[in-house]
A and B are shown apart, each in its own frame.
Chain A
Amino acid sequence: MNVHRKTTEPALLSLTSVAKAIAEKRLSSREVTQSCLDRIAQWQPRLNAFMAIETEAALAAADAADARLSKGNSGGALHGVPLAHKDMYYDAGKVVTCGSKIRRDFVATTTSTALQRLKDAGTIRLGSLQMAEFAYGPTGHNAHYGAVHNPFALDHITGGSSSGSGSAVAARLTFAALGSDTGGSIRMPAHFCGVTGLKTTWGRISRAGAMPLSQSLDTVGPLARTSEDCALLLGLMAGADPEDPTAITGPVPDYMAATREPIKGLSIGVPTAFYVDDLDPEVAGILDQTIAVLKREGAAIVQVELPDQRQLAAACQLVLATEAAAFHKRWLIERSDDYGAQVLMRLQNGLAIPGVTYIEALRWRGPALAAHLAAVAGVDAVLAPVAPVAAPTIAESDVGNSPDAESVIQRLTRFTRPINYLGLPSLSIPAGFTRNGLPVGMQLIGRSFDEAALLRIGAAFQRATDFHAREPK
């Protein structure tokens, strides 16, 4: 089912639809921006999704965009579209807190490449979005700025670390938002909040000007309402960047065209183990229903036997913990009291990992990826749950630095970390709701740099279902 329906509230449109409406002058950027600001005023006291709201500046930018368009000067594919992003993307002259006390007053002197490319396409800034401290937490808690709340059930978590991005996109406060995914930080909030989230292939989008957590694992990607919206954003952001030599060169595929392709004839693998083990019964049921929809749409569903995913998850943890500790070492020495207890504990984890172990975990990455690709050679994508459960409550997941904190975190992220270690793309799509009204997402895992296949399958699924179109009340 399509979300391109007639509505009197512009903020409820999809990104693709609102950009078209502005371009065709059916809506002005001011009308659209005011609609988002009205919803932000309504929802922010309950969600805590925004770090900063820049009402006057956003309206002024909207008026300027409308004035340019009236003279026939379009700024690009997203001319006049207001967006807000995870507060870790440097924007010259703006405070970028990274969800931390340490960077509470940090003013960026550069603008991240991903953000600049969206600005070049004509977007305007609504403000910035909450996140886990230094993007190091999968629940949505933040010791300094408070937990972000799930719009579908306010006493439940959003997931993290792109907590504000998931919450704000779900509540229709912004049409899309940048997140980042190092161990699951786009897919977790997409799953818990009922939005579409794309973890890109490592190297697909430049990370220049994005706060680092783990250079071997960090990826930039969007959270939006539809696969089509993610395709639009990916096409604008992807491509080589002299500021980030890890961003791959070569032409950027036409992702929007991919979303219009049917999936008849594609093969989708379902793992025989790990991703189907110990699932909450409702999540297991939604996985079955997702398989049924994809079959109806013409995809062939086959079982795949993947290599040991627990080893991949462990290797991911060793790499992530070591690199994060190295980035933070100076502050661990000088400002350890300024970290939240859980983030401090997790950063300290990296101190315990010998250099040889860290390098071994990096050396194994090539063979591990080769083994995975061999296992999925016959399929276009692998379908798996994002997490074994729907969103827990804020209270029950507020584990701080307690002895079982890491095990709680690892359980929540066990289906996402292996994919980060392999550097693969993964698209989280809303796939159903629990009886209590909590969203459940499924992830489509692809080959390296084959985001197009995932967006194609995701768009076909969203043409056949309406889970992505359901709004929190």
Chain B
Amino acid sequence: MTRPTQKEIKAIADVAGVPASADDAARIANSIGPAFEGFAAVGGTLPFDLEPASFLLVQAATPRKAAK
């Protein structure tokens, strides 16, 4: 996963219905780019049968450390 370019961001924003100027797109690319890089090692690696709701299952099943 690579950070989106200014040109790509402008196109995505247009499709989203919230057009961004060239300056805005450049600022957004600079601002959000590091998040794409930080997540790059995870993106595209997740197993098929993994739903977002698995978070709730893990949360609900959290074991409590035995009280001392």
Chain A residues at the B interface, C-beta cutoff of 8 Å: 201-203, 248, 264-267, 308, 310-311, 313-315, 317-318, 321, 325, 329, 332-333, 345-346, 348-349, 351-354, 357, 359-367, 369-370, 373, 377-380, 401, 403, 405-407, 410, 423, 447-450, 453
Contacts and interface: CB of A to CB of B under 8 A. Distances in A.
Contacts of A365: 52, 54-55
23 contacts: A201-B59, A248-B60, A314-B35, A314-B37, A314-B38, A314-B39, A315-B42, A317-B35, A329-B16, A329-B18, A348-B24, A349-B31, A361-B39, A364-B50, A365-B55, A366-B53, A366-B54, A366-B56, A406-B31, A406-B32, A423-B59, A447-B63, A448-B59
Interface string B22-36: 001001111110111
Judged by DSSP, the binding face of B is helix
A343 to B, nearest CB: 12
Contacts of B1: 357
B37 A379 contact: no
Of B9, B18, B20, most buried by chain A (CB within 10 Å of CB) is: B18
Contacts of B53: 366
A10 B16 CA distance: 54
Given A360-B42, A373-B58, A401-B27, A349 B32 contact: yes
B28 A348 contact: yes
Nearest to A349: B32
Contacts of A359: 52
A315 B39 contact: yes
B41 to A, nearest CB: 6
A367 B54 contact: yes
Contact of B13 (A351, A360, A423): A351
A441 B52 CA distance: 33
A348 B8 CA distance: 14
Nearest to B41: A311
Interface residues of B, number: 44
Nearest 3 pairs between A and B by C-beta? A314-B38, A366-B54, A265-B68
A321 B33 CA distance: 12
Given A366-B57, A369-B59, A401-B27, A360 B43 contact: yes
A369 B68 contact: no
Interface of B: 1, 4, 8-9, 12-13, 16-18, 20, 24, 27-32, 34-39, 41-44, 46, 50-60, 62-65, 68
A348 B37 CA distance: 18
A321 B12 contact: no
B45 to A, nearest CB: 9
Contact of B28 (A311, A332, A351, A369): A351
A449 B4 contact: no
Nearest to B59: A448
Contact of A321 (B32, B60, B63): B32
A345 B59 contact: no
Contact of A379 (B9, B29, B46, B65): B65
A222 B61 CA distance: 26
Nearest to A360: B43
A410 B34 contact: yes
B38 A363 contact: no
Given A314-B36, A315-B42, 6 more contacts: A265-B68, A317-B35, A318-B36, A348-B28, A352-B9, A447-B63
Contacts of A367: 46, 50, 54, 58
B50 A405 contact: no
Given A329-B18, A351-B12, A363-B46, A357 B39 contact: yes
A359 B44 CA distance: 11
Of B37, B53, B57, B58, most buried by chain A (CB within 10 Å of CB) is: B58
B29 A352 contact: yes
Contacts of B51: 363, 366
Nearest to B5: A352
Contact of B20 (A264, A351, A406, A448): A351
A265 B18 CA distance: 56
A352 B46 contact: no
Contacts of A264: 68
